[in-house]
Every structure is written in C-alpha cells, then in structure tokens.
C-alpha cells in the first residue's frame, strides 16, 4: 500500500515552495530555427552540468561540501540520483528525504537539477531495486542468458538482473516513479528539477537477449503489430542498423521474431530493445502523468572498441543503432543520451544526432574541447562529466562553463540562425572555416605554435581511450585548442575559445579586434587589440591559458 504523506507536511512543503518561487511554466523541448533547445522558464537553457557519483546523494551530510564546489565550478545544473531502494525501502512506504534534500540544496546554490531514477536498471543490473523486489524472483522474475553464465568483470560475474518481461516489476517500478514525480510536482513548483533520467544504462550483459522462460515464450510469438507498423511507416528513414537487419529478411510485415529479423545476436538486440523500451515507456507514462518534465534514457555505448556484438555491451539499451526500435516502443522518451567514455567523442555525437535526436551527454570525461564541440557543432542541450565532485575547483572546465554560461543567451539566438561554427584541434595543426561570407584560417596551439618547430607541440592531441564504459573518469586534462566562431552581423564575428590564431583569407582585412567578455549575455568590452596584440591587424588570437572572447570586424576594400 502506498503510504500517503501527512496532509500537514504537504501543506508546509507547498507553502515553502510558494514562498521561494512562483509556479513556473514547465521545462520543455522546442524546435527553434536550425536547432532544438531546452526551454526553462520559457527561455533556452544550456545545461552546463555534472553528474554525481552514484552513491553521493544517498547521504545529505556527504553532499554538504560538494554543493558549493559545483557552484564554484560554474555548473548551472547538477545530475543527482534517486534510487528505488531508498525511495521505497518497504513496499508502499515512501521516503522522499533525499530527493527533497537535493532540491533544496540545488536551489540554495542556484543550480537546476536532473534526477536519475535508479529503478529496475543500473548498468544492465538491478542493484538499485529494493531488496523486497530482488528477494522475490517468483513475483519479480530475473533475466537469464542462454548458457546460464553471466558476463563478468575482473573475473567477478555480474548478478542476474530483473527481466523486462516481468509484469509485476514494471507495475511496481512505475508506481514508485509515479510517486516520486507526484512528490516533485508538490514540492517544486518553480521547477528546480528540469529533467529526469529514467533508469540507467539498460540492457542485458553476457547475452544478446533475455533467455528466461518468459522471454523465450515472447520470442516464439509474432512480432507485435505496433512495432511492424512503425517500421513500415518509417521505412524510408530508418537508421541502417535496423533497416539492414529487417531488410536481410525481406522487410516482412508479419511473422515471429526469428522470421522477421533472423536468429542472430542482431535480431536478439531488436527483441531486447523492444521489450526494455516497452517497460521504460510504462514507467515514463506513469511519471509524466504526474509531472510532464522532459525525460531521457542513457546508454552504455556499443559497438565500441573491444565490444563488437550485442551482449558485450548491454544489449537492448538505447545505443544509437537502436533508436528506431526505442522510438517505436517508447514514444514518450524525449531523447536518447550517450555516456561517452570512448575516444571518438565526435563520432558518437554524430551518431546520436541522426534522425533528429537532440544531443545531451549526461556522462563523459571532463573536457572543455569536447564541451565546445557538442555545443558548437550539435547545439547540444547540455554536457555533464561523470563524477563531477572529483574535479578540482580550478579545473579548466569550470572556466569554460563560466564563459559559456554568460554567452548562452547570445549563442542560443545565433545557433537558431545557423551562424555558429566550432573548431577543435585534431591531428592537423590548422583548419579552415567558411562563415558569414568569409574564409578563415585557424591555427591551433596559440601564438606559441608559430615559434615551435613542427611536431614539437606539447599539446596532447586527444584523451587516451578508456577501455570500456564503467571505468572511472581519467584525471588527464584535455589540452587541445578549441573555440566557437559566431557570425554576429555582416562583416562581424565573435570568437570564443582557447589557443587559436585566426587569419582571414583572400581580400578580407581585419578592421577591429576587441577583447572583452559576456556577462549574462551582455558584451563588456576590454582593450582594443592592435599593434603587437594583433600583429597590426593581421590576426585574432586567444591565449591557450584561458577561454577568451574577441569581437572582430572585417572589411573588403571597395
Ligand atoms: C556509467 C554509469 O552510467 C554510471 O552510473 C557509472 O557507473 C559510470 N559508468 C562509472 O564510470
């Protein structure tokens, strides 16, 4: 039975909420010109975020010194957690203390909050389901591999997870999530909580699909008509990962899973994605019925180096190749989010923005160049290193967050107009950008690059690859040069970045270069840079020691 909150308690919470903020309009996603933006209080909001370690938010005292640190790092959003085991430790008895503590602390430190619902899945396992669930596999059935063997990590086998086909499981998970969302609606009229992550890195490890008796029975049945209808009506726009598997079996419009998709691990992955997607859809539906916040699901990536087949990554999770199946199964999911620990950050961003998926990166290693790439190239809704409390307060990401936070309103406008370019140092020492009718040459490494002999750059070209998702963030700093170039008007540019030297090509000349900074979207000018500071109007440079901003005008002679 659900234990109702005492009426007085509710009244006091509502009164406190009303005192600290009016009922604000709900956060929502909105298409604005060339991009999709997250709207918070009806304004575009760029989430400069960080995700806490899994267990941090389970102790209010442990979190106390962390909150000010997040503010000092210039975050505007924290990703916290609410676990099913602590929310509903006994069936029907709910405890919202930890959610409330996070909401209040976030407000105090001027942060918005995303909460992760650690429900049935956490990294392909079910360790956050309450004990009363995990103890009772008759009522809450477990998944299984065909061989009965589990995937292992450093020789230790992972425990079996709850099966996505357990009816009692989805009912219980959805009920708990509904109670959480109801509570947030009651205590958070100003929407400190702007988004929810539902479950965490779903999927099955060690096999490409669930082989429990329940799942085997579902596998022998016809593919659900809703899925086939979705595939038929989106046939021309399906991503290749699904189109290829379906097409290899003749794009059949009916049949069992094996008849329609085949019987290998790729067919299994589709089956598993469908069933997990259906499960998650019911959880989201229950939550949104109480409070219609944007909700996303995150993925442990695959394929990735060292994991080439489903089951080597959590099969059925929302990897980019399964977005079509997830869209069919879970239309209430607002976006699919990659946890990026692989070296090819830019490649993953590209895969996840296919077919219109807005980009949000809830987990990654802290890298200002990657932040700029996600925001500049893909108008990402936000970026969030994992284990944010590990960062020192002078980490370069904090400086990048401070600059981007103040630039965000300006950026949102020009992104919508398609007037933003991004550069991030790669294998080459320079690159070319065409924007606003001008061609620019961008040199990486800052002014030092002119004087250092070729190949002697001390810059680290890229972060070393992490072996698999699940490994802790690496301490190295990403020292590549990077920046945004914004065409702010005819013959006018804004350059924001680190370690760049920009020259204009052909018959274009630099008119003026001003240093300065944005404060809440307003330009505060500093020195006029001429003479030695711009090689008398030949280049625009931003130091590699900080994130700097320049306003530049350019002209062509009549
Ligand atoms: C990915 C998971 O989603 C996180 O909860 C955490 O376990 C990290 N991996 C650890 O690197």
546 neighbors 479 (Cβ within 8 angstroms)? no
| pLDDT score, position 452 | 62
Q: Report which ligand 1 atom has the smallest distance to the Cα of 473.
A: 11
Residue 315 clears pLDDT 70, i.e. is over it: yes
Q: What mean pLDDT do residues 323-339 have?
A: 98
* Exposed / middle / buried, residue 309 (Cβ in 10 Å: 0-12, 13-18, 19+): middle
Name the band, by pLDDT with cuts 50, 70 and 90, for residue 90. very high
Only one residue has tokens 């709207």, namely: 39
- Gap from CA of 123 to ligand 1 centroid (Å): 7
Q: What mean pLDDT do residues 255-273 have?
A: 98
Whether ligand 1 lies within 6 angstroms of the CB of 384 is answered as no
Whether ligand 1 lies within 6 angstroms of the CB of 199 is answered as no
Residue 450 clears pLDDT 80, i.e. is over it: no
Residues 6+ apart with CB under 8 A from 340: 301, 348, 349, 361, 363, 364, 370
Residue with the smallest CA separation from ligand 1 atom 1 is 470
Backbone angles phi, psi at 320, to 5 degrees: -65, -35
Give the residues across from 47 on adjacent strands: 382
| pLDDT score, position 555 | 97
| DSSP reduced 3-state for 489 | strand
Whether ligand 1 lies within 6 angstroms of the CB of 386 is answered as yes
| pLDDT score, position 448 | 76
pTM for this prediction: 0.93
Whether ligand 1 lies within 6 angstroms of the CB of 467 is answered as no
- Gap from CA of 374 to ligand 1 centroid (Å): 20
Name the band, by pLDDT with cuts 50, 70 and 90, for residue 22. low
Backbone angles phi, psi at 156, to 5 degrees: -100, 120
| pLDDT score, position 535 | 87
Whether ligand 1 lies within 6 angstroms of the CB of 51 is answered as no
Residue 18 clears pLDDT 60, i.e. is over it: no
∠ Cα 348 320 391 (to 5°): 45
Whether ligand 1 lies within 6 angstroms of the CB of 406 is answered as no
Cα dihedral angle (63, 67, 68, 74), rounded to 10 degrees? 150
| pLDDT score, position 56 | 98
Backbone angles phi, psi at 100, to 5 degrees: -60, -45
- Gap from CA of 89 to ligand 1 centroid (Å): 23
- Gap from CA of 337 to ligand 1 centroid (Å): 13
Q: Report which ligand 1 atom has the smallest distance to the Cα of 298.
A: 3
Mean pLDDT score across all residues of the chain: 93
Q: What mean pLDDT do residues 506-531 have?
A: 96
Q: Cα–Cα distance between 57 and 334 in angstroms, integer?
A: 25
35 neighbors 379 (Cβ within 8 angstroms)? yes
Residue 467 clears pLDDT 70, i.e. is over it: no
Whether ligand 1 lies within 6 angstroms of the CB of 54 is answered as yes
> What's the number of CA atoms in the CB half-sphere (13 Å) around residue 401?
26
Whether ligand 1 lies within 6 angstroms of the CB of 470 is answered as yes
- Of 35-39, 344-348, 457-461, 523-527, the one with minimum mean pLDDT is 457-461
């Amino acid at each position: 039975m659900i234990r109702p909150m005492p009426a007085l308690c509710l009244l006091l919470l509502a009164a406190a909420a009303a005192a600290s903020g009016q009922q604000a309009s709900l956060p929502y996603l909105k298409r604005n010109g060339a991009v999709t933006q997250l709207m918070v209080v009806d304004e575009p909001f760029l989430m400069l975020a960080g995700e806490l370690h899994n267990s941090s938010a389970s102790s209010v005292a442990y979190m106390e010194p962390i909150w000010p640190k997040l503010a000092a790092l210039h975050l505007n959003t924290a990703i916290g957690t609410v676990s099913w085991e602590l929310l509903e430790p006994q069936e029907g008895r709910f405890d919202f203390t930890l959610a409330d503590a996070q909401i209040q602390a976030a407000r105090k430190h001027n942060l918005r909050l995303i909460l992760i619902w650690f429900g049935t899945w956490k990294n392909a396992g079910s360790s956050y389901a309450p004990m009363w669930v995990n103890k009772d596999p008759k009522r809450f059935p477990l998944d299984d591999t065909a061989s009965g063997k589990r995937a292992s990590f450093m020789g230790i086998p992972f425990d079996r997870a709850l099966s996505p086909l357990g009816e009692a499981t989805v009912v219980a998970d959805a009920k708990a999530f509904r109670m959480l969302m109801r509570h947030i609606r009651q205590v958070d009229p100003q929407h400190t909580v702007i988004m929810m992550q539902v479950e965490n890195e779903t999927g099955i490890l060690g096999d490409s699909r669930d082989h429990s008796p329940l799942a085997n029975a579902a596998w022998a049945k016809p593919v659900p008509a809703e899925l086939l209808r979705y595939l038929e009506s989106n046939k021309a726009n399906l991503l290749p990962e699904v189109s290829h598997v379906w097409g290899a079996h003749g794009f059949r419009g009916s049949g069992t899973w094996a008849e329609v998709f085949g019987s290998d691990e790729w067919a299994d992955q589709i089956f598993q994605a469908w069933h997990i997607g259906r499960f998650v859809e019911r959880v989201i539906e229950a939550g949104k019925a109480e409070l219609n916040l944007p909700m996303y699901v995150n993925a442990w990536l695959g394929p990735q180096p060292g994991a080439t087949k489903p089951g080597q990554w959590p099969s059925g999770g929302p990897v980019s190749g399964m977005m079509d199946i997830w869209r069919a199964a879970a239309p209430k999911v607002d976006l699919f989010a990659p946890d990026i620990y692989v070296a090819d950050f830019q490649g993953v961003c590209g895969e996840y923005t296919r077919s219109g998926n807005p980009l949000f990166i809830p987990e990654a290693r802290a890298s200002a160049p990657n932040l700029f790439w996600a925001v500049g190239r893909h108008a990402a809704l936000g970026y969030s290193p994992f284990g944010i409390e590990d960062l020192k307060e002078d980490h370069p990401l904090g400086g990048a967050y401070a600059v981007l936070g103040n630039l965000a309103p300006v950026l949102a406008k020009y992104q919508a107009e398609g007037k933003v370019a991004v550069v991030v140092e790669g294998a080459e020492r320079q690159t070319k950008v065409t924007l606003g009718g001008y061609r620019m040459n961008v040199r990486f490494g800052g002014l030092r690059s002119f004087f250092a002999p070729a190949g002697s750059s001390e810059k680290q070209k890229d972060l070393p690859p992490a072996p698999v998702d699940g490994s802790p963030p690496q301490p190295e700093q990403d020292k590549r040069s990077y920046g945004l170039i914004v065409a702010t008007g005819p013959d006018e540019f804004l350059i924001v970045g680190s370690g760049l030297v920009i020259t204009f090509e052909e018959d274009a000349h630099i008119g003026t270069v001003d240093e300065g900074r944005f404060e809440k979207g307003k330009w505060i000018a500093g020195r006029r840079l001429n003479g030695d500071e711009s090689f008398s109007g030949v280049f625009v440079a931003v130091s590699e020691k900080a994130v700097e901003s320049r306003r530049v005008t350019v002209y062509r002679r009549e």
